[in-house]
Amino acid sequence: MKLQRKNRLRATALGALAVSGALVLTACGSDDNSGGSTGGNGGKTSAASNIKCDDAKGQLPASGSSAQKNAMDLWAKNYMAGCSGVEINYKSSSSGEGIVAFNQGTVGFAGSDSALKPEEVADSKKICKGGQGINLPMVGGPIAIGFHLEGVDSLTLDAPTLAKIFDGKIKKWNDPAIAKLNSGAKLPDKAIQAFHRSEDSGTTQNLGKYLGAAAPSDWKYEAEKKWPAPGGQAASGSSGVAAQVKQVDGSIGYFELSYATSQSISTVDINTGGATPVKATPENASKAIAAAKIKGTGKDLALDLDYTTKAEGAYPIVLVTYEIVCDKGNKAETLSTVKSFLNYTAGDEGQKLLTEAGYAPIPTEINSKVRETIASLS
């Protein structure tokens, strides 16, 4: 805080982002590009972080993907520190629940780790007057396979072995298939406890897409949001699965990488058939996501990911979380806030935070189209 000339006292807010993701929030005002003052956010840019607050105001409810929760928490706190009078309320639940909420008209946008299905697009037209729901890729990252096995700190698995583990066909940690991939490791004669999501989840669907593509002989299930295989144990949300893996010796589960890094959970290296097994890192996930193609039409930017890549250093179990909005027919009371907030998350500052939080930024070529689409929302 400082006293400016002509006795103009202005409160500002600085979002102090530490490595842990902690942000300190204080009340804030805003400046326009010329340094002129304003009593609100109308058409202005926050002096604190160069966030374009525009006409953002009031509450913006949103819900969906728990995989992007840690990113959304950082974004919301930093954005609210830069734009006074705005409250971003993101409920971390699941992709399925987010889409339901969006198509019921109770949220300004939804987060989903899977693109809208045709029937969900059709439902969205009831809410998006004169338009429809579209997918904006915003968060990338690896789906980490976390494990907890006392005495074992490093583990390599491939798609067929993972498929058999999650399908209950491989039941012990010293199974020959696991031992073959981990020469020299002291694998215990311990039962495997596999954890999966209890609710409809885009993370589940993306894992299913990987297993179905990379191990078609061993994973016969359709890639759906609902967990398809018998057996195993269920937990709610990525946070719930990660908590179980953290606590239970002999366990394995899947969740977004930031849940593993924040709780110091060991993650599996994936043997893709390349020269060396690939670690779950934002950088390695980016290599896989960079090869994605846009399969959506019009303003829809749904992506086609290659789960069978053998490119050196490309981590194949990836997800992209979409923010789902109306191309036309967004609610008038939240449209300005939706556009301002998503402009921030898709901007250089918002995308930079992803790497720091263990996520992967959306490749530049795709992200430029995301920004163009956000600007055109009505």
pTM of the entire predicted model: 0.77
CA distance 204 to 255: 9
Whether the pLDDT of residue 326 is over 90: the answer is yes
With beta carbons less than 8 A apart as the criterion, state whether 283 and 357 touch: no
Task: Report the pLDDT averaged over residues 254-272.
Answer: 95
Q: At what angle do helices 95-103 and 202-214 cross, to 10 degrees?
A: 120
Confidence of residue 135 (pLDDT cuts 50, 70, 90): very high
SS3 141: strand
pLDDT on residue 12: 34
Whether the pLDDT of residue 11 is over 50: the answer is no
pLDDT on residue 50: 79
How high does pLDDT run on average in the chain? Answer: 88
Confidence of residue 127 (pLDDT cuts 50, 70, 90): very high
pLDDT on residue 376: 98
**If DSSP states are collapsed to H, E and C, what string results for 297-318?**
CCCCCCEECCCCCCCCCCCCCE
Q: How many other C-beta atoms are found inside a 10 Å radius of the C-beta of residue 306?
A: 16
pLDDT on residue 374: 98
CA distance 41 to 341: 13
CA distance 268 to 290: 22
Positive or negative torsion for Cα 121, 342, 65, 258? positive
What percent of the chain stands above pLDDT 90? Answer: 82
> pLDDT digits over 184-220, tens only?
899 999 999 999 999 989 899 999 999 999 999 999 9
> pLDDT digits over 140-192, tens only?
999 999 999 999 999 999 999 999 999 999 999 999 999 999 998 999 999 99
With beta carbons less than 8 A apart as the criterion, state whether 374 and 339 touch: yes
Confidence of residue 358 (pLDDT cuts 50, 70, 90): confident
Angle at 102 between CA 50 and CA 89, to 5 degrees: 45
Whether the pLDDT of residue 363 is over 60: the answer is yes
Residue whose C-alpha is closest to residue 323's, from 344, 307, 292:
344
CA distance 340 to 301: 19
